[in-house]
């Protein structure tokens, strides 16, 4: 199913009630929904952030680095997937991507000129251990050492994600994440990194969006390795939970300065109706999609994501695993892009028909699977970005305040948020990229974030996705999330108007209107 079909399908599935009603029609919970245009201009201009708030940008190794086979790097599952005909739109690959492997000094200089204080990047595991086990590849370590030094030199905090989806192919050949041995291999890798870079990096997140890569890769097969068995997802997710705990300990053991948190993908879930069944379904969504890897860390147990018993056997859960998973994360990081409307699907036949939507996948009918038995759709009440995601600024307020409440007021980092728009440089405007829709997106979203902070949430950083337009996974180069435009023919970077605006936000902690002066 392509995007267009999915959008129209989810529109149908969401029901006409969702469309004209702006959330108030009969049967829909009257949550305090606020459209971007319902946020008063004064709320935006008066929004304030803490004095030492960290404004930052994010990327991921496979999406920006290129140099896919240089300096001893091994093959990753994304190399294999993108090199397989028919997997990525337009036959695109990350072979060159934004060539950040070579161009990082210029990218860091650009971030410095944009007043950035934090750069969230990821390390490519197969650069460090080409087959995922054994001796470290010194050239790989040296590369990241230089990157980190250059960041520190520019006054930018290096925020390191250990795994943003580029598993060494050799480990997939050993069974991939459903094989619990990977938890130990991952901890070894984490220890190597912390030993080599832990004198300079203090902020570590083991996994980017663990639900997404386990579910999309093993549960439904739209991401590598392209396997589609729900039990494989359950096993993969359990290994990742173990790996998170073991990596936490390995990092701490190697670096006394280390703080370890997370980079989870989250979407606030609203029940479709106020029925008890839909409310319970929305809670299962929250448990499965938002806190499945957080509850295990903080409380050492799986959250109530399932109808009925937790399927320990299918997961491969062994006695003592709760103690391995449980680690006191120093801070909690998560992304916000869009929201979900969730309904109970316990009466539906399974499996539901899934819709693939960038890094998002949802059921548009039936239930997602026999265990969680809900149906989740991305509504289309708010405007859609060019990448097809609904804009719902209020969602970040709900998410941040909920996580604050449920996890005893943790330090929070927003690890990603952004929007895909296809604006290009405009010659008549001196080559500027007038991406005003992106500026509007961030202004209203950040006003909602400021409100969550003034209501007491302890948010210390925000990372816009992304520093650069880049390889957008199975969508190849058809989406542009960057605050900087990349011309892939010659790698020329042009800071978009949103990037110039964001630089002012970073300098002033205020969400002023954009002016090119």
Residues found near ligand FCB in the complex (CB under 6 A): 60, 63, 208-209, 265, 359, 416, 465, 472-473, 481
Minimum Å gap between C-beta 55 and ligand FCB is 18
Q: How far is the CB of 376 from ligand FCB (least distance, A)?
A: 16
Query: Smallest distance, Å, CB 419 to ligand FCB?
Result: 9
Judged by beta carbon, residue 99 or residue 188, the one nearer ligand FCB is 99
Residue placing its CB nearer to ligand FCB in the complex, 23 or 268 = 268
Q: How far apart are CA 215 and CA 223, in angstroms?
A: 9
- Of the pair 129, 208, the CB lying nearest ligand FCB is at 208
| Nearest CB to ligand FCB, comparing residues 101 and 473 | 473
CA distance 22 to 193: 48
Of residues 324 and 419, the one with the C-beta less far from ligand FCB = 419
CA atoms within 13 A on the CB side of 52: 3
212 CB burial (10 A radius; 0-12, 13-18, 19+): buried
**Nearest residue (CB) to ligand FCB, 60 versus 288:** 60
- Residue 249 CA to residue 390 CA, distance in Å, equals 38
Residue nearest to ligand FCB (CB): 359
State phi, psi for 76 to the nearest 5 degrees: -105, 170
Task: Kindly state the smallest distance separating residue 60's Cβ from ligand FCB, in Å.
Answer: 5
Calculate the alpha carbon distances from 137 to 73, 131, 212 in Å: 8, 10, 28
Q: How far apart are CB 61 and ligand FCB at their closest, in Å?
A: 10
CA distance 178 to 247: 17
Residue with smaller CB distance to ligand FCB, 186 or 465: 465
Minimum gap (Å) between residue 229 Cβ and ligand FCB:
23
- 79, 80, 85, 90: CA torsion to nearest 10: -20
The residue (of 104 and 481) whose beta carbon lies closer to ligand FCB is 481
- Closest CB 382 distance from ligand FCB, rounded Å: 17
Whole-number Å distance between alpha carbons of 107 and 144: 14
Q: CB of residue 87 vs ligand FCB: minimum separation in angstroms? A: 16
Alpha-carbon distances, residue 6 vs 17, 353, 472, 475, 512 (angstroms): 18, 10, 18, 14, 36
Q: Which residues contact 501 (CB under 8 A, 6 or more apart)?
A: 439, 442, 514
Going by their DSSP bridges, the two strands 118-122 and 484-487 should be labelled as: unpaired
């Amino acid at each position: 199913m392509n995007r267009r079909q999915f959008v129209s399908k989810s529109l149908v599935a969401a029901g006409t009630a969702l469309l004209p009603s702006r959330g108030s029609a009969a049967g829909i919970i009257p949550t305090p929904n606020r459209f971007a245009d319902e946020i008063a201009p004064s709320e935006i201009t008066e929004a304030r952030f803490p004095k030492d708030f960290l404004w930052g940008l994010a990327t991921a190794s496979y999406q920006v680095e290129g140099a896919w086979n240089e300096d001893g790097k091994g093959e990753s599952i994304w190399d294999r997937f993108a090199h397989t005909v028919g997997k990525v739109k337009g036959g695109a690959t990350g072979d060159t991507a934004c060539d950040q492997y070579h161009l990082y000094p210029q990218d860091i200089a650009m971030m410095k000129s944009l007043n950035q204080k934090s750069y969230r990047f990821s390390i490519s595991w197969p650069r460090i251990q080409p087959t995922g086990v054994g001796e470290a590849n010194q050239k790989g370590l040296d590369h990241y050492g230089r990157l980190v030094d250059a960041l520190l030199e520019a006054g930018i905090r290096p925020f390191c994600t250990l795994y943003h989806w580029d598993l060494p192919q050799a480990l997939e050949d050993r069974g991939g994440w459903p094989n619990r041995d990977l938890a130990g291999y991952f901890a070894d890798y984490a220890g190597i990194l912390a030993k080599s870079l832990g004198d300079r990096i203090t902020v570590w997140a083991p996994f980017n969006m663990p639900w997404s890569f386990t579910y999309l890769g093993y549960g439904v097969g739209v991401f590598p390795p392209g396997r589609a068995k729900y039990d494989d997802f359950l096993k993969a997710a359990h290994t990742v939970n173990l790996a998170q705990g073991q990596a936490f300990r390995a990092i701490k053991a190697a670096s006394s300065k280390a703080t370890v948190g997370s980079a989870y993908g989250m979407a606030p879930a609203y029940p479709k109706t106020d029925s008890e069944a839909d409310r319970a379904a929305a809670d299962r969504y929250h448990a499965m999609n938002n806190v499945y890897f957080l509850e295990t860390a903080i409380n050492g147990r799986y959250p109530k994501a399932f109808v009925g018993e937790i399927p320990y056997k299918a997961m491969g859960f062994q006695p003592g695993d709760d103690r391995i998973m449980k680690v006191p994360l120093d801070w909690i990081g998560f992304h916000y892009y869009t929201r979900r409307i969730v309904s109970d699907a316990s009466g539906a036949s399974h499996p539901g028909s899934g819709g693939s939507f960038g890094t998002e996948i949802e059921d548009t009918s039936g239930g997602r699977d026999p265990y969680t038995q809900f149906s989740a759709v991305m509504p289309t009440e708010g405007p859609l970005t060019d990448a097809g995601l609904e804009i719902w600024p209020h969602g970040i307020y709900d998410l941040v305040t909920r996580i604050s409440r449920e996890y005893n007021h943790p330090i929070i980092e927003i690890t990603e948020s952004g929007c895909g728009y296809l604006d290009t440089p405009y010659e008549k405007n001196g080559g500027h990229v007038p991406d005003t829709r992106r500026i509007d997106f961030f202004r209203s979203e950040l006003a909602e974030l400021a409100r969550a902070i003034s209501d007491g949430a302890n948010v210390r950083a925000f990372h816009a996705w992304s520093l650069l337009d880049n390889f957008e996974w199975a969508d190849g180069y058809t989406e542009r999330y960057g605050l900087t435009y990349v011309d892939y023919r010659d790698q020329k970077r042009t800071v978009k108007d949103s990037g110039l605006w964001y630089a002012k936000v970073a300098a002033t902690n205020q969400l002023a209107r954009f002016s090119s002066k």
